[in-house]
Amino acid sequence: MQPFARIMLVALALVSLVVATGDAQNPLAAGQVPGTTAQQAIDAAAAALGGAGRLRALRNITLTGYAQYAYQNGGGNISPLPGAPQKFIAANDYRRIYDVQNMRMLHQERRNDLFPFANYGGHSFALQRQGLDGDVAYNVNAQGAAARGGDARDRRMWMHANPVTAVRAALTGAATVSNRRQQDGLTLVDLTLREGDRMTLAIRPPENRPHWISWIGPNTNLGEVVYTTTFYGYQPYGGVELPMGYTTKIDWRDVDFMKLYVDGYYVDGDIPNLAASATFPPAPLGGTLAGPPQLGAGTLTQQPNIASLLPAPRTVGPGGAAAGAGRGGGGGRAGGTAGGGQQQIPVVNVARGVWRFGGGTIALEFADHITLFEAGGGLDRVRQVVAQARQLVPGKPVTQLIQSHHHFDHTAGLRQAVAEGLTIISRRDNGVIFKEMTDRKAPNFPDDLHRSGRTLSFIPVDDHLQLRDATMTVDIFRIIANNHIGDGVFAYIPEHKIYIEADIATAAEEVQWWGDSFLDNITHRKIDVDTVVPVHMDIMTFEETVRMVRPGIERVKQYCQEMVAKGNWFPGCPAFLR
């Protein structure tokens, strides 16, 4: 070996020794956040985000961007099976104003379903605004008036699902920190907010910026879920580091609950008064993609005034709806019509042995028991429905529930039905998702199912199942020709020529994207229908239903024509309708 080569090998060996020694002594290079305590981890994160002094002095942040939500928390897909294509809702004109000095937040967005839905409102870009003022949740209507309503805890968690607001809370005493630990190369600490709510923050070395934050919330369909918001692409704004992307997942099927794309931030600008008693600009009519004007659509939104840092305020066009609201989000516990299980639900006797409860559950009387059809509206409502159904015919227990399909708006009381001991009857593949929904525990937010320890009892339907005894016959048929429900059932009572359905003809009247399905199912099954008893609408005759559906089909065709004329090839167009 030449002398020069020997010298180079020795040098490389020395460098390797130095690097290896440095790795053993340098907590950053070794993947460790500085310090050993939870507070020291927070201090390191604060330094990485702009410094503890800057974060303490922070007054407000306004996030602007756009987002996408999983439709019905991932429970509104065409199929109940894992891996089915996810439907999403777009949320444009998205912004969150964090008034950290006064512990207030205002969230606004304008939603548009990225799939065809049965009413114009799904595509109206109507402005939705949700606020938090300390412990008070409020909503702002189209006229700009604020009224108390909503889940303050849920909004408080979302307010802190931001790396800067979370770390600042720990610096200012709005949260305490504890339980430092390691997981997957990250340093984790627990935050306990002043109100007692708990979150977990993960800090990633060597930058020492927050990587994700998680918390647990109640969920009507799933008992409770873990939300995890991961932060991506930090950039500096006003002396603080803020992420340009947020992905929030839930711990059921790894669903992307929300994907948030940030356009930018305004830091310490002039922001509106976010008190629950404040008034806000109105949201006038107009701005819809198609159809008649929708309340709250089309308003222009003013940016915060930060004249000392940026040019004068500008206005932006229409765009989305508030986090966790509407068909795509939320997931908290819904009480429904029953009002906490106390208020009586109206009941109509449709025919011998057939009753319809307000809110869309149908009771069917057999010789020795009662079977229900549909469990929507929330846990409290279904608890009340079952209680009242047990009194319809003294001595006859409620033993079964026919569930039309798996969509989460229709199964918002499924866990309660299982807690009540009901056997569930539905399409075979629905049994997969129903078992997932009812097997989940809810120790932090216990519901009746968690407390009961009961498990799902399930009877599958393939193409046709008949329930029959000496007093009642009910045919349960698989739904066909429907691009909204891939695995659904409807019920038919031959004695009364009654057709019991959900989302076949009556999801909404306005635009009947799958309007042919109503008559196609009748023709396919060769059944004679006099009366339609729907989940979503009032009882109708067969003729009344046809008169409702046919104009809705024509409105779909007109809608698609308007979209194409604008150069917007809207999902569902050209319509698959006769």
At 46-90, the pLDDT tens digits run 999 999 999 999 999 999 999 999 999 999 999 999 999 999 999
Q: Which of 65-74, 280-289, 422-431 has the lowest mean pLDDT?
A: 280-289
Expressed in percent and rounded to 5, the helix, strand and coil fractions of the chain are 25, 35, 45
At 483-505, the pLDDT tens digits run 999 999 999 999 999 999 999 99
Q: Residue 401: what are its φ and ψ, rounded to 5°?
A: -135, 120
Nearest residue to 136 via CA among 329, 270, 331, 274: 274
At 390-421, the pLDDT tens digits run 999 999 999 999 999 999 999 999 999 999 99
Residue 120 pLDDT: 87
Residue 10 pLDDT: 40
Residue 121 pLDDT: 85
Query: Which tokens go with 390?
Result: 């047990």
Residue 31 pLDDT: 77
Taken in order of first residue, the domains within the chain and their CATH numbers are: 38-80+87-280 (2.50.20.10), 336-565 (3.60.15.10)
- Give the pLDDT mean for 510-524: 97
At 115-149, the pLDDT tens digits run 998 988 888 888 899 999 999 999 999 899 999 99
CA atoms of 144 and 133, how far apart (whole Å): 16
Give the three-state DSSP class for 469.
Answer: coil
Nearest residue to 297 via CA among 89, 140, 141, 124: 124
CA atoms of 406 and 250, how far apart (whole Å): 18
